[in-house]
Amino acid sequence: MKPMLIIAVNAFRETVRDKILYNLVLFAIGLIIFSLMLGEWSVFARQTVISDFSLAVMSLVGLLMSIFVGIGLVQKEIQRKTILTLLAKPLPRWHFIVGKYLGLLMVLALNLAFMTLVFFLILILIGTRPQANLLWAIYLIFVEMAVITAAALLFSAFSTPTMSALFTLGVYVAGHLSGDIVNHLAFIHKFGKRLPGTPVINPFTEKVIKGVYYIIPNMENFNIRGRVVYDLPIGHHYVLYSSLYGLMFIGIYLLIAGLWFNKRDFI
């Protein structure tokens, strides 16, 4: 664990000096403060609008940080050839991947905590006591960021920065849409014959869609913003199951990244 922790600390120190990271955090804080004005203009409850908008901003900025920081950290080592110095030491390559990943998680956790502090201060400013359930929603946003970061590291292990960003963004978008598509297929199977004009789904296409659903994580499992903001019930052990679901995909992505990185030639 010691070599991985050293790599993680160095990755953390390198990332916190990145100007892009500060710009994203400032952008997020600006949007969270902007939610104050949205709360004034909206016909809905002020607290509801601010909470919903702020959590959405955290999720969006977390996605951008996970993609750009997650991809750039490994690619910088490759482009600068500093990775040759690291790999020349008696250190398994998968230690490098896991160490970088842990360092990125530390950075993401720090920035998410800072945005949470601003969010809660705004709620206190308008005379609202922050609900404990908001912390569960923020925690699952962090789990989602952790999954996306693992995917970004996986793609950056064998692809260019541009393609890695596109692949990671594709995982995010497909992860949020896959559940709805599968539900739509189930609806067609159940009511398709009763409704005129319902399209016929090709069996091969259906298998491909279901295959994508099981390969790509369902990101909607980490989205409980609506339930928390509108004070809807959350199932027992839902957060625990979602955490284990995220950890499963994180482990798979890091395992594949480590295996691929171990075979890659940097000379």
Residue 211 lies in a domain: no
CA atoms 76, 262, 264, 90: torsion sign: positive
The pTM (predicted TM-score) of the whole model is 0.84
Residue 107 has a pLDDT of: 85
What pLDDT is stored for residue 261 in this prediction? Answer: 75
Residue 74 lies in a domain: yes
- Residue 206 belongs to some domain of the structure: no
Block means of pLDDT (10 residues each) for the chain, length 267 residues? 74 70 71 67 66 84 82 71 67 79 88 86 81 89 92 83 86 82 67 58 70 82 86 84 93 88 65
Within-domain flag for 172: no
**Half-sphere exposure of residue 233, counting CA atoms within 13 Å on the CB side?**
3
Domain that holds residue 138: 2-158+221-263
Residue at 198 is within a domain: no
Express each pLDDT in 43-88 by its tens digit. Answer: 456 777 778 888 888 888 888 888 877 787 777 766 666 666 666 6
Which pLDDT belongs to residue 247? 94
Q: Is residue 33 part of a domain?
A: yes
In a domain, residue 108? The reply is yes
- The answer to whether position 88 is within a domain reads yes
How many domains in the chain? 1
Pair 97, 157: CB distance under 8 Å: yes
